[in-house]
Amino acid sequence: MSTHIGAKPNEIASTVLMPGDPRRAKYIAETYLDNPVCYSQVRNMLGYTGTYQGKRISVQGSGMGIPSLAIYTTELIKEYGVKTIYRVGSCGGMSPDVKIRDVILGEAGTTDSSIIANTFGPGIYYSPIADFGLLDAAYHTAEDMGIKTKVGNIFAADRFYNDELDLKKLTDYGVLATEMETAGLYLLAAKYHIRALTILTVSDHLLTGEALSAQDRETSFDEMAKLSLTTAVNNMVD
Ligand SMILES: O=P(O)(O)O[C@H]1O[C@H](CO)[C@@H](O)[C@H]1O
Ligand SMILES: O=c1cc[nH]c(=O)[nH]1
């Protein structure tokens, strides 16, 4: 096992779906995977491996925020040889162009996290971006499945509660929605030369104050889960 994941070598597939919420990992694994086996309960950050349409796939919770996601992502890559990660998360809509329940594909990750400065030093404002092959594949898979998607820039916030955020400026510059992990995931994917894509469902909207009910959230998240799994099994490289 690694420091934070209680799996033996080879218990984790090379393609991983990664929700922030470990209970969403359990839900996705138990709802969609055949023969799901829970390989880790360390800190209740559940991880499962099973098959989808006959292909081996894992689902691992990341926790909330870049520091937590970075722990699981780094161990998955360095200790378990993971090559492809799909983050499947909830987000708050920021732009008037996105509505509650929309599925968003994260093309790029903006952030107020210090991870970029800590990596590159002053003066370099690195742009973490999605793997283009996965982005393109997910976009067309969604079209085939009748799921409408929006594609764009996602703001990974260090703080969930932040009344100092300049929402207008970020949306004026094209940011669609906020969550707390994508920029960190894309940065680590670039560092370790793996593929990563974020797929999000808009669970609430910062402009309107609307929020999905628990029931609505589950149905909307189902679209995101099916899109991620279908994209994953049709685009495995290893
Ligand atoms: O639904 P998940 O994947 O946890 O993602 C979003 O929800 C959490 C905040 O409520 C943060 O992790 C944010 O990124
Ligand atoms: O991080 C998140 C997730 C959902 N909604 C938000 O406003 N922020």
Q: Dump pLDDT digits (tens) for 105-123.
A: 999 999 999 999 999 999 9
pLDDT in tens, 166-176: 999 999 999 99
Which residue from 63, 221, 69 is spatially nearest to 147, judged by alpha carbons? 221
- Do the Cβ atoms of 65 and 58 come closer than 8 Å? no
Cα of 10 from ligand 2 centre, angstroms: 34
Ligand 2 binding pocket mutation candidate from 158, 159, 160 (most atoms within 8 A of CB): 160
Count, residues in the chain: 238
What separation in Å is there between the alpha carbon of 73 and the centre of ligand 2? 20
CB of 22 closer than 6 A to ligand 1?
no
Name the nearest CA neighbour of 1 among 47, 37, 33, 36.
Answer: 47
pLDDT (tens digit, 9 = 90+) per residue, 5-40? 999 999 999 999 999 999 999 999 999 999 999 999
Nearest CA to ligand 1 atom 12: 64
Q: How confident is the model at residue 212, as a pLDDT?
A: 92
Measured from the CB, is residue 18 less than 6 Å from ligand 1? no
* 145 Cα: distance to centroid of ligand 1 (angstroms): 25
Low-confidence ranges of the chain (pLDDT < 50): none
pLDDT of residue 214: 77
For residue 220, the model assigns a pLDDT of 73
CA–CA separation, 167 and 178 (whole Å): 10
Residue tagged active-site, from 112, 158, 204, 222? 204
- CA dist., res. 72 & res. 91, Å (int): 20
pTM metric for this prediction: 0.97
CB 79 within 8 A of CB 191: no
Burial class (CB in 10 A: 0-12, 13-18, 19+), 213: exposed
Give pLDDT, residue 153. Answer: 98
Global ipTM: 0.99
